[in-house]
Amino acid sequence: MVRRAAFPLLVGIFLMTLGAGRLAALDPNRTLTQYVHRIWTVQQGLPSGTIYNMWQTSDGFLWLGTQTGLVRFDGVKFTPAETLFPGFPENQWMRAGVEDSHGALWLGTNDAGVFRVEHGQVTHYSTKEGLPSDVVFCLVPGAANDLWGCTGNGLARFVDGRIEAHHVKAGSNPPGPGMDRVLAACLAPDGTLWAGGDGPVLSHGDGDVFETIPLRGVPSDGGVRAVVCKGSSVWVGTTAGLVEVKQRGQQKFYSSKDGLADDGVLSLELGRDGSLWVGTRGGFSRLRNGEFVSFRPQDGLSQSSVFSVYEDREGSLWAGTKHGLNQFVEGRAIPYTANEGLPSNDAGPLLQDAAGRMWVGMLDAGLARFNGRRFDAITTREGLASNSVLALAGDADGSIWVGTSKGLNLLQDGRVARTFTHASGLPADEVRGVIRDRQGTLWAGTAAGIAKFMGDGFAALAGGSKDPIQALGQDREGRLVYSTEHGLFRVEAQGTREITANGNSLRDVDAIYRDPDGVVWLGTNGLGLRMLDESAGQLKVSAFFVRDGLFDGEIYGIVGDDQGRLWMACSKGIFSVARAELRRFAAGEIKKVSSTQYVPTDALRVIECKPGVQPAVFKMRDGRLWFSTIRGLIVLDPTRLQRNVPPPPVVIEDPIVNGRSEPAGLIGDLAPGQKNLEFNYTGLSYVAPTRLVFRYMLEGYDKEWINAGTRREAFYTNLPPGTFHFRVTACNTDGPCNDQGSVVTFTLSPHYYQRIWFWPSFAVVLALGGWLAYQVRVRHIRERYDLIVNERSRIARELHDTLIQGFSGITMGMQALLARLRPSEEKERLEDIIHDAASCLRETRRSVAGLRGVARPEASGLAVAVAGAARQITETKDVKLRLKLDSGPRGLQAEVEYNLLRIATEALQNAVKHSGARNIEVALKTTSEEMVLSVSDDGAGFEPDEHGHLKPGHYGLIGMKERAATIGAEFVFHSAPGRGTMVTVRMPVNRAAVLEAVK
């Protein structure tokens, strides 16, 4: 059902629609066979079983009470009630149904009492709740929000949820028999309840006391089956006929003798135009102005027994039978066939005479005259030359010229006055066209050429074609124009002249029409439309084909309406084109023309117009257009092609959320993850339900309307969280649209990770986690660093207490020995040994100091250490030392500083001892990215051996490379004989200081 939040909107649309719809009704001037008739049976989805009742609810749905259950119909789809309302019983025989003022459905069954459905909730009433009987035949809304029910044991009244039993017993004025089974009832405008059942009587009263009226004309074994109240009259359908009960007890009885379809009346319905619709066992009838018109199975009804008749708010009539649902709709055109009294469906030429009467030539049944209500035929028995009529023309005095296959007849006062044949001067007996030109000359086109009427007979046109004539017409000046298979010709004062287009013959012209502007239009047999324009004094011929927008290229007849359009009868039906648009195309102003096809409301009706008759289409003086077709006649009013129907109500049915149907009123808040939705919607117009077109938009998701055409469903997948409004509008084929439409609003809740606070919170948590991980890492590094420092301190102590102390003792012993020696070469040699030992001891102490030392963040001792080592190594040598040392990086770790110092020392010693250098340069340069330490000399240079050694027994390049690799530095060595040596160490500053930075 419709979402509750949108229900006020839908009620508003309904009231608007209902107000407009009360003016809509089937045209009572048409016969029943002239309405568009549709049938739904089991093959079209209708559940099996007799349709006992029909009604339309305020939301626009049509409901059917059948022998197998309750069914809802939207014009396209039948939906069983058990799929709409949880807990609704299946396979119940529904005899009656009605909607109360609150929108609740009341349903009477054959053996299960009454069901009430409101907002999807089902309430059951039976004999246990006080219902007189579980057999319920009818339900009648009361005057005070109450409800009357016809049961198998009297009347029941539902008031505020209570049941009051009322037995239809005899009153006292006058006394009469009561009744047990009440089969039908109605409530009169004055509040009187009329009821009937078994027996030929009708009772009326206030519900407690009834007066009984015998029904005259109904036999004793007869009974009442339907009752409707209309003003001061009550119409009673009985098993023996129809009875009208008027005031003061007056009655009028109708039966099949009066035109009723059958004496057994089953249902009654009052039409908005005052007609009474009567469903019987032999079809149904319309009673209007005392006259019956009936529609029976032989006319196309789905089955003979009409148990229910209903007129909806758009004016359509519905008839329910044992074998189908029938709908009757007023089409935009009026058909005339043999069903409406036309002598034959093989219609030919058309004509309206001076008196306004319509004449139709039949190809096999003579000439038909239409007086507005019925057709009269004139055939060979009345003197017609042949029953095959091919052409018609009229004179101002009311005379009719009738061209047949065997001669030409003149009708005066509706009688055949004269007959002309080949013996009368006609080139042939078969007359294909008749026309009177502007000068008053009558021309007849035959199967052997053209002839002119001379007063007493005809004379063949001198110099005219002997070919069969296909069409007759006039040019701008009113001169005769005729066509044959081989060309188009004009009769001039000098003789007959062919009309050509750029020297080419205009062949196969089947229709000639001169419009009010004097332009001549030619319809051809497969070559499209031609325009002959002589307004500028020179003939201009323009062609129009299907590729240019023409609906069909095989045109049998042309006529203009009062709205400036050309209407054409063609092999594909009927279409129109604006004359101004055709002229603009001919002038090259537009690329294509727009053809408007007439499409019948009944998709099963096929329209194909008739070739070879003159004229095949005729405009009456009231503006209506008559067309000959292969199935009789079609009459169109160009000013009334748009039906006066209200905009169609739109209903959004229960959406499907993640594959599960949800009540539309309960999807307001959807849980996270319910992001796949299917919306089913429908438009409730029954005039042309399959041609309703829809558009929809999911506000909050779609950026513009989506044109769905006739599709009645919309799908959305992977919707993001948010609040959405699904809106649908509908338009019918005649243009009126329901732009307000219907709407369902819902909110899709987000997952926790889709909420606005999630990502900022996640970023905070992530940053906190990163900070904690950093702190753990720093702590781990510090612990490792402390272990390294402690180990180095232990090694330093061990070296100090063992190696340094031992070297110190040895050095002191050698100094004591030196003091006792006399000057000699050995003493000098010992002094050198002591000096070297002292140097080694100092280096050892420096190494121990490096093991113990911790670099300070504010400065590095590398530059000082390198400078000191360089001076010490070169102070006794004949070498010029140049120092280019900056302060070095801040926070240099001790291990890095020590290894760099050892590399520099090794390079200096190699330069002093082995290169014979005169100049040595030591440089330390620090940038924001790297630190570069280099030692270069101008000595002899060398090429290292395959192991990288300087000389056997000396540490060489390998040691420096290993120290550089230990601290993660890049070691670069350049040397060549006679070009000196350069040792360079490059190290990123951040790697050199990282350990110190985290301390």
> Of 102-106, 166-170, 858-862, where does mean pLDDT reach its minimum?
858-862
Provide the strand spans (E) within 363-508: 367-370, 375-378, 389-394, 400-404, 407-412, 415-420, 431-436, 442-446, 449-453, 458-460, 471-474, 480-484, 487-492, 495-501, 504-505
Q: Which two tokens stand for residue 251?
A: 């009655």
Backbone φ and ψ of 410, nearest 5°: -110, 120
CA–CA distance, 466 with 372 (Å, rounded to integer): 41
Q: Mean pLDDT for the chain?
A: 86
Q: Nearest to residue 182, comparing CAs of 195, 164, 169? A: 195
pLDDT tens-digit series, residues 222-248: 999 999 998 889 999 999 999 999 977
Distances (CA, A) of 779 to 775, 776, 991: 6, 5, 18
pLDDT of residue 641: 79
Backbone φ and ψ of 12, nearest 5°: -60, -45
> Higher confidence at residue 647 or residue 318?
318
Q: Provide the edge-to-edge strand list for the sheet that holds 136-141.
A: 136-141, 147-151, 154-159, 162-166
Q: What is the mean pLDDT of residues 367-379?
A: 91
What is the distance in angstroms between the CA of the first residue and the CA of the last residue of the chain?
Answer: 74
pTM: 0.72
pLDDT at 431 over 50: yes
CA–CA distance, 53 with 900 (Å, rounded to integer): 108
pLDDT of residue 947: 52
Backbone φ and ψ of 98, nearest 5°: -160, 155
pLDDT of residue 601: 64
**Spatial contact of 450 and 461, defined as CB atoms under 8 Å apart:** yes
Q: What is the 8-class DSSP label of residue 512?
A: E
Q: Nearest to residue 735, comparing CAs of 632, 641, 628, 611? A: 641
**Spatial contact of 555 and 524, defined as CB atoms under 8 Å apart:** yes
Please count the other Cβ atoms lying within 10 Å of the Cβ belonging to residue 448: 18
**Spatial contact of 471 and 482, defined as CB atoms under 8 Å apart:** yes
pLDDT at 999 over 60: no
pLDDT at 736 over 90: no
Question: 151: part of which helix (H) or strand (E)?
Answer: strand 147-151
pLDDT at 21 over 60: no
pLDDT at 9 over 70: no
CA within 13 Å, CB half, 648? 28
Q: Provide the edge-to-edge strand list for the sheet that holds 431-436.
A: 431-436, 442-446, 449-453, 458-460
- Number of alpha helices (DSSP H) and beta strands (DSSP E) in the chain: 9, 72
Q: Nearest to residue 713, comparing CAs of 56, 61, 83, 77? A: 77
pLDDT tens-digit series, residues 836-876: 777 777 677 666 665 555 444 444 578 888 888 888 888 77
Q: What is the mean pLDDT of residues 565-581?
A: 94
Largest distance between two CA atoms of the chain: 184
pLDDT of residue 177: 45
pLDDT of residue 956: 64
Q: Nearest to residue 490, comparing CAs of 443, 446, 428? A: 443
CA–CA distance, 327 with 76 (Å, rounded to integer): 13
pLDDT tens-digit series, residues 459-499: 999 888 899 999 999 999 999 999 999 899 999 888 899 99
Confidence of residue 783 (pLDDT cuts 50, 70, 90): confident
The pLDDT > 90 percentage for the chain reads 55
pLDDT of residue 814: 79
Distances (CA, A) of 997 to 622, 888, 926, 966: 106, 15, 17, 19
Confidence of residue 169 (pLDDT cuts 50, 70, 90): low
pLDDT at 148 over 80: yes
Residue that has been written with the tokens 């909607």 in this structure: 99
CA–CA distance, 279 with 53 (Å, rounded to integer): 12
pLDDT tens-digit series, residues 286-344: 999 999 999 999 999 999 999 999 999 989 999 999 999 999 998 888 899 998 899 99
**Spatial contact of 69 and 91, defined as CB atoms under 8 Å apart:** yes
Q: What is the 8-class DSSP label of residue 690?
A: G
Q: Is 52 exposed, middle or buried (0-12, 13-18, 19+ CB in 10 A)?
A: buried
CA–CA distance, 692 with 685 (Å, rounded to integer): 8
Residue that has been written with the tokens 């009960």 in this structure: 245
pLDDT at 948 over 70: no
pLDDT of residue 544: 96
Q: What is the 8-class DSSP label of residue 422?
A: G
Q: How many residues does the chain have?
A: 999
Using only C-alpha atoms, the chain has a radius of gyration, in whole angstroms, of 56
**Spatial contact of 706 and 739, defined as CB atoms under 8 Å apart:** no
Amino acid in position 693: V
pLDDT tens-digit series, residues 489-533: 999 888 899 999 888 999 999 999 999 999 999 999 999 999 999
Cα angle, residue 199 at apex, residues 195 and 202 outer, rounded to 5°: 30
